[in-house]
């Protein structure tokens, strides 16, 4: 089986664009992956795939060999869009190999460690504050709405949720100064707003996670952590490019620290593990590639650190991340977005989630079908 073509395809996802990679072969088999880059350059990512295609076309879908050849060709510009392109290519080749052999991807890595994985409802409240109209959801207008949402999470069987710095109102706010959207510096008013949010989401039996992203410097993170310790959060998610600064944050709070969604490859994660910077590693499987993600998870295990895959995308990425959860031993939970655009379920198969647990798919490759017709939906596929 030889690779004949690589295609980058876009799909409108409301307030962002989902990006998919399709690889065709001379046998007729087609492989799929997702490489969505919400904060970067979708067409830039497409250009990288086009530039790397000559190094892939004509080869067998040997994911490990292709990955390292591409890594060597791009090693002077590591990370970022290059890493996401390499991860997308590797993942698509693994889908092809699994389909060729008629086995799920986890079988290529020694077989499953589990048949299901606990999931948490991510961007809970965030989506109803910033994208409620396009998603056809109730607006997060008051703290009563927040309490109703927490009740909904419980009724739908989820045992954990993650939110961001959300302030309900006639015009709800999601404070994300790290991405250029709204101020947040750990001031008294913001601390009170965060505590109001967490208090409203605090529902019996639901574990709480707050994601601070890149939005505050370490002193602001510590200030917020201290104010929230009484709520017994499952973890506080913090993005930081300095492992020692993150380790200092971790040393000053009793709340477990999760980080890493912004890191690429085992070389990037290693100094964080060595500095004891995090309690949970957030590994992005579609940006790192499955093989690298497994290496990161295996390295995390040697430091007694669990992983919680970062998964802020379409269902295809959930299927890919679920395969990683099956292939490694130290998974804590898997992130899933429940609130989303109504056509999300039309793009691919839908993961089976029952009582807060996702059933690991057992079909060939990722165990997921893709509806190509959806790529005609208002996205630029030039």
Q: Is the pLDDT of residue 42 over 90?
A: no
Indicate the average pLDDT of the chain: 94
pLDDT at residue 374, as a whole number: 86
pTM for this prediction: 0.95
Q: Give the Cα-Cα-Cα angle 318, 26, 376 (nearest 5 degrees).
A: 50
Q: Is the pLDDT of residue 92 over 80?
A: yes
pLDDT at residue 181, as a whole number: 65
Sign of CA dihedral 180, 181, 182, 187: negative
Mapped onto helix, strand or coil, the DSSP state of residue 236 is strand
Pair 371, 351: CB distance under 8 Å: no
41-55, 100-114, 170-184, 315-329: which has the minimum mean pLDDT? 170-184
pLDDT tens digits for range 305-354: 999 999 999 999 999 999 999 999 999 999 999 999 999 999 999 999 99
Question: Which two structure tokens, joined as six digits, stand for 263?
Answer: 């890191």
pLDDT tens digits for range 268-306: 999 999 999 999 999 999 999 999 999 999 999 999 999
pLDDT at residue 179, as a whole number: 79
**Rounded alpha-carbon distances, angstroms, from residue 189 to 184, 224, 227, 365:** 10, 11, 13, 49
First to last CA, the chain: 28
pLDDT at residue 39, as a whole number: 72
Return the number of other C-beta atoms located less than 10 Å from residue 307's C-beta.
29
| Banded pLDDT at 180 (limits 50, 70, 90) | confident
Where are the chain's structural domains?
A: 3-102, 108-359
pLDDT at residue 47, as a whole number: 96
pLDDT at residue 22, as a whole number: 98
Pair 128, 140: CB distance under 8 Å: yes
pLDDT at residue 381, as a whole number: 44
pLDDT at residue 43, as a whole number: 86
What is the C-alpha to C-alpha distance for residues 287 and 279, in angstroms, rounded to an integer? 21
Q: What is the mean pLDDT of residues 223-248?
A: 97
What is the C-alpha to C-alpha distance for residues 145 and 149, in angstroms, rounded to an integer? 6
Query: Tokens 């707050």 identify what position?
Result: 210
Q: What is the mean pLDDT of residues 61-81?
A: 96
Pair 241, 264: CB distance under 8 Å: no
Q: Is 135 exposed, middle or buried (0-12, 13-18, 19+ CB in 10 A)?
A: middle
Q: Please give the backbone phi and psi of residue 190, each rounded to the nearest 5 degrees, phi first.
A: -70, -40
User: Which residue would you say has higher pLDDT here, 373 or 25?
Assistant: 25
DSSP 360: P
Superfamily of 3-102 according to CATH: Enolase-like, N-terminal domain (3.30.390.10)
What is the C-alpha to C-alpha distance for residues 328 and 290, in angstroms, rounded to an integer? 11
Domain range 108-359, CATH architecture: Alpha-Beta Barrel (3.20)
Query: Tokens 């429940």 identify what position?
Result: 338
Q: What is the mean pLDDT of residues 19-26?
A: 97
Q: Give the Cα-Cα-Cα angle 117, 266, 7 (nearest 5 degrees).
A: 75
Pair 96, 66: CB distance under 8 Å: no
Q: What percent of the chain has pLDDT over 90?
A: 90
pLDDT at residue 178, as a whole number: 82
| Banded pLDDT at 378 (limits 50, 70, 90) | low
pLDDT at residue 382, as a whole number: 36
Question: Which two structure tokens, joined as six digits, stand for 96?
Answer: 């092809």
Mapped onto helix, strand or coil, the DSSP state of residue 212 is strand
What is the C-alpha to C-alpha distance for residues 170 and 132, in angstroms, rounded to an integer? 12
pLDDT at residue 190, as a whole number: 78
pLDDT tens digits for range 184-232: 454 556 789 999 999 999 999 999 999 999 999 999 999 999 999 999 9
Q: What percent of the chain has pLDDT over 70?
A: 96
Mapped onto helix, strand or coil, the DSSP state of residue 222 is helix
pLDDT at residue 45, as a whole number: 95
pLDDT at residue 142, as a whole number: 97
Pair 119, 353: CB distance under 8 Å: yes
Question: Which two structure tokens, joined as six digits, stand for 101?
Answer: 């052999």
């Amino acid at each position: 089986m030889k690779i004949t073509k690589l295609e980058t395809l876009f799909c409108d996802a409301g307030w962002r664009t989902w990006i998919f990679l399709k690889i065709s072969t001379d046998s007729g088999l087609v492989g799929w992956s997702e490489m969505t880059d919400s904060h970067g350059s979708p067409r830039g990512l497409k250009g990288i795939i086009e530039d790397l295609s000559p190094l892939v076309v004509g080869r067998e879908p040997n994911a490990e060999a292709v990955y390292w050849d591409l890594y060597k060709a791009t090693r002077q510009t590591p990370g970022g869009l290059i890493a996401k392109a390499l991860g997308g290519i590797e993942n698509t080749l693994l889908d092809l190999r699994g389909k060729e052999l008629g086995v799920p991807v986890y079988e290529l890595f020694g077989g499953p460690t589990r048949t299901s994985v606990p999931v948490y409802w991510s961007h809970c409240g965030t989506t109803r504050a910033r994208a409620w109209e396009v998603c056809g959801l109730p607006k997060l207008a008051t703290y009563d709405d927040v309490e109703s949402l927490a009740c909904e999470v419980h009724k739908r069987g989820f045992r954990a949720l993650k939110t961001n710095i959300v302030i309900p109102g006639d015009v709800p706010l999601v404070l994300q100064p790290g991405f250029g959207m709204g101020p947040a510096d750990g001031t008294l008013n913001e601390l009170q707003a965060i505590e109001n949010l967490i208090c409203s989401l605090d529902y019996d039996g639901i574990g709480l996670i707050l994601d601070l992203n890149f939005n505050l410097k370490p002193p602001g993170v510590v200030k917020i952590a201290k104010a929230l310790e009484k709520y017994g959060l499952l973890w506080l998610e913090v993005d930081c490019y300095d492992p020692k600064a993150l380790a200092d944050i971790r040393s000053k709070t009793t709340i477990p620290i999760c980080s890493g969604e912004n890191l690429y490859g085992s070389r990037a994660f290693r100094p964080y593990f060595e500095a004891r910077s995090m309690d949970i590693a957030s590994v992005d499987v579609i940006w790192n590639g499955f093989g690298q993600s497994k290496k990161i998870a295996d390295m995390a295990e040697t430091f007694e650190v669990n992983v919680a895959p970062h998964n802020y995308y379409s269902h295809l990425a959930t299927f890919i991340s679920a395969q990683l959860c099956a292939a490694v031993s130290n998974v804590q939970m898997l992130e899933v977005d429940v609130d989303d655009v109504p056509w999300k379920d039309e793009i691919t198969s839908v993961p089976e989630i029952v009582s807060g647990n996702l059933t690991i798919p057992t079909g060939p490759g990722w165990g997921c079908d893709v509806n190509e017709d959806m790529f005609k939906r208002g996205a630029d596929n030039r």
